[in-house]
Structure 1
Amino acid sequence: MKKLTKVAIQGIKASFHEEAAFKFFGKDIQTIECNSFKQTCDVLAAGEADYVVMAIENSIAGSLLPNYTLIREYNFAVTGEVYLGIQLHLMALPGVKIEDVKYVTSHPIAIRQCIDFFDEFPHLKIVESVDTAACAKKIKEEQLTDTVAVANAMAAELYGLDIIERRIESNKKNYTRFLILKNDKAENPGIINKASICFQVGNHVGALSEVLNIFAKQDVNLSKIQSMPVLGKRNDYYFYVDMEWSDIAKYDEAIRRSLKYTVNFNIMGEYEKNDKV
C-alpha cells in the first residue's frame, strides 16, 4: 500500500490551506489539521508531517508577518509555492434566508475581504473565528439557523450547507500565496529559478541599497522585499527577499557578493516559481 504524503495545514478539512495543499500535491495526500501556524511547525519539527502548507501573503490583506518569523526560527526550508484564487461564498443551513440571519462568522481576514458586501447588511453581527471551514462545520453540527458562514465551496459541499450568495469578496482578483515547507534543507531537485532569503544590514546610509544593487547588476529580479524589526533591537531589521532569475550562475554570483554586506544571511529556500492562480 502506498504511503501517503502527510501535509500539515492550519485549519480543518475544506479550509483554504487544504485547498492549496490539494492544488500543489494533488488529492492523494493526508492532511493534518492544526489549530495554529505554530502547531503546524511543531508537527513538522517532530517528524509527524512531511510538509507544511503556510499562507504568507494575500493580495488584499497583505503579508502574514508572524509566519516569516516562524519559518526563520524553525529553520525550515521553503521548497515550493502555490497561489490560490480566493473565492468567498456566504453559506447557511438549507432553507435559511439572509433576512432571517443575525450572525455572520468567519476568519477576520475573510470578513475584511468582504466588507463591501456586509456594509449592505448592517444588522448582521460579526463573530470572528480561527478558520473559515470550522465556521461552516459549526453551523452544521449545531444546526444554527441564525448564522451564516463565509468560506469556500469545498466547505459548503463537505458540511452540507447551501450557498446563498456567491463571490462576495470585494476584489475578484483576490489570491493568497502559500509556501511549501519541509524540515530538510537538502538541495531541491528539479527546476530552480526562485529563492527566498533573509538577512540584516548595518544601520548606515546606503546599507540596503548596496545589497539590492548587487542583485540588479546580476539581472536577478527582486519580486518581493519585506522588512521586520529584530525583537528588542531598535533600528535593526530583518529583510525577507524573494528573487527570480533566468541564469542561475548570475544568481550564485549575486549571493556570493552580497555576503560581504550582510549579517545573519540565510537562504530560506530555492525552488521552482509557481505563480499561476
Structure 2
Amino acid sequence: MKKKPRVAIQGIKASFHEEAAYKFFGKEIETIECNSFKQTCDKLENNEADFVIMAIENSIAGSLLPNYTLIREYNFAVTGEVYLPIQLHLLALPGVKFEDVKVATSHPIAIRQCVDFFDDFPQITVIEGNDTAACAKKIKDEQLKDTVAIANSLAAELYGLNILERRIESNKKNFTRFLILEQNKNEQEKPINKASICFQVGNHVGALSKVLQIFAELNVNLTKIQSMPVLGKRNEYYFYVDMEWKEMENYDTAIRRALKYTVNFNIMGEYLKNDKV
C-alpha cells in the first residue's frame, strides 16, 4: 500500500495551508498540524514530515519575511510552488441568521482583507484569532450562535458550518504563493524552469547592479527580488531572488558568472514553475 506523503502545515485542518497542500499533492496526504512556521520546519528536520508547505507571499499583505529566514537557516530545498486564490466567506452554525451575528473572528490578515465588508456593519465586533480554520472549529465546538468565522469553504465543509455570505474579501484577485520544502535537494525528475536563490554582495556602488545585469544579458527573467538585513551587521543584506528561464544553458551560465560577484551564494531550490491560480 502506497504511503501517504506527510505534509506539515502551519495551522489546523481546513486552513488555507491545507487547501494549498491539497491543490499541490491531491487529497491523499497526511496533514501534520503545527502551531507555527518554525514548528513545521522542526517536523521536517526531525523526519516527522516529508514536506512542508509554507506561505511566502500574499498579493495584498506582501512577503512573509520571517519565512525566508527559516528556509535559509534550516537549509531546506525549495522543490515546488503553488498559488492559491484566497476566497473568504462568513461561516456560522446551521440555523443562525445574519441578523443574529454580533461577533466575527479570524486571522488578522484575513480580517484586514475584509475591512470594506465590515465597514458596512458596525454592529459586528471583529476579534482577531490565531487561525482561520481554528476560529471555525471553535464556533462548532462551543456552539457559538452569535459568532461567525471568516474562513474558506473547506472549513465550512469540515466543521459543518453554513456560509452566510460568500466572497467578502475586498480584492477578488487576492492570492497567496506557497513553497514546497524538502530536506534534501534531490535531482528533479521533471524539467525545471524556475529557481529560488539567495546571496550577498559587497557594499559598494554597482555591486548588486552587476549581478542583475548578468541575468538580464542571458535572458533569465527575475520574477522577484526580496532583501533582508543580515542580523547584527549594518548595511549588509541577503538578497532572495526568484528567476525563470527558457534555455537551461543560459541559466547555468548566469549562475556561474554571478558566483564571481557574490558571497554566501545559495541555490535554495530549482523546480517547475507553477503559477496557475
Normalising by the smaller structure, the TM-score range is over 0.9
In 2, Cα distance between equivalents of 1:23 and 1:43: 21
Answering whether residue 67 of structure 2 is matched by residue 30 of structure 1, we say no
Q: Secondary structure at the match of 1:222?
A: strand
Answering whether residue 33 of structure 2 is matched by residue 21 of structure 1, we say no
Answering whether residue 117 of structure 2 is matched by residue 117 of structure 1, we say yes
What's the TM-score, normalizing by structure 1?
Answer: 0.98
In 2, Cα distance between equivalents of 1:98 and 1:65: 37
Q: Percent identity?
A: 79
Q: Which moved more, 1:92-101 or 1:165-174?
A: 92-101
Equivalent position amino acid for 2:19 in 1:
E
Alpha-carbon deviation of 1:3? 1.0
Answering whether residue 137 of structure 2 is matched by residue 137 of structure 1, we say yes
What's the TM-score, normalizing by structure 2?
Answer: 0.98
Answering whether residue 252 of structure 2 is matched by residue 252 of structure 1, we say yes
Alpha-carbon deviation of 1:102? 2.1
In 2, Cα distance between equivalents of 1:25 and 1:186: 18
Structure 2 regions of 5+ residues with no counterpart? none
Partner of 1:172: 172
Matches within 5 A, 1:255-274: 255-274=255-274
Q: Secondary structure at the match of 2:232?
A: coil
Q: Secondary structure at the match of 2:170?
A: coil
Report how many residues are paired.
277
Q: Can you list the C-alpha shifts for 1:204-242, whole angstroms capped at 9, x where unaligned?
A: 111111000000001000000011111111111111000
Partner of 2:192: 192
In 1, Cα distance between equivalents of 2:267 and 2:181: 13
In 2, Cα distance between equivalents of 1:239 and 1:5: 32
Structure 1 regions of 5+ residues with no counterpart? none
Q: Can you list the C-alpha shifts for 1:94-131, whole angstroms capped at 9, x where unaligned?
A: 12223322221111111111111111122222221221
Q: Secondary structure at the match of 1:111?
A: helix
Partner of 2:242: 242
Partner of 1:71: 71
Taking only aligned residues, the RMSD between alpha carbons, in angstroms, comes to 0.9
In 2, Cα distance between equivalents of 1:261 and 1:122: 56
Alpha-carbon deviation of 1:267? 0.3
In 2, Cα distance between equivalents of 1:119 and 1:237: 40
Q: Secondary structure at the match of 1:261?
A: coil
Equivalent position amino acid for 1:256 in 2:
R
In 2, Cα distance between equivalents of 1:2 and 1:225: 39
Partner of 1:49: 49
In 1, Cα distance between equivalents of 2:53 and 2:123: 36
Partner of 2:61: 61
In 2, Cα distance between equivalents of 1:204 and 1:242: 23
In 2, Cα distance between equivalents of 1:232 and 1:100: 52
In 2, Cα distance between equivalents of 1:136 and 1:204: 52
In 2, Cα distance between equivalents of 1:30 and 1:241: 31
In 1, Cα distance between equivalents of 2:200 and 2:187: 24
Answering whether residue 115 of structure 2 is matched by residue 127 of structure 1, we say no
Equivalent position amino acid for 2:132 in 1:
T
In 2, Cα distance between equivalents of 1:113 and 1:90: 13
Q: Can you list the C-alpha shifts for 1:156-187, whole angstroms capped at 9, x where unaligned?
A: 11101111000000111111100000001222
In 2, Cα distance between equivalents of 1:204 and 1:57: 29
In 1, Cα distance between equivalents of 2:17 and 2:90: 19
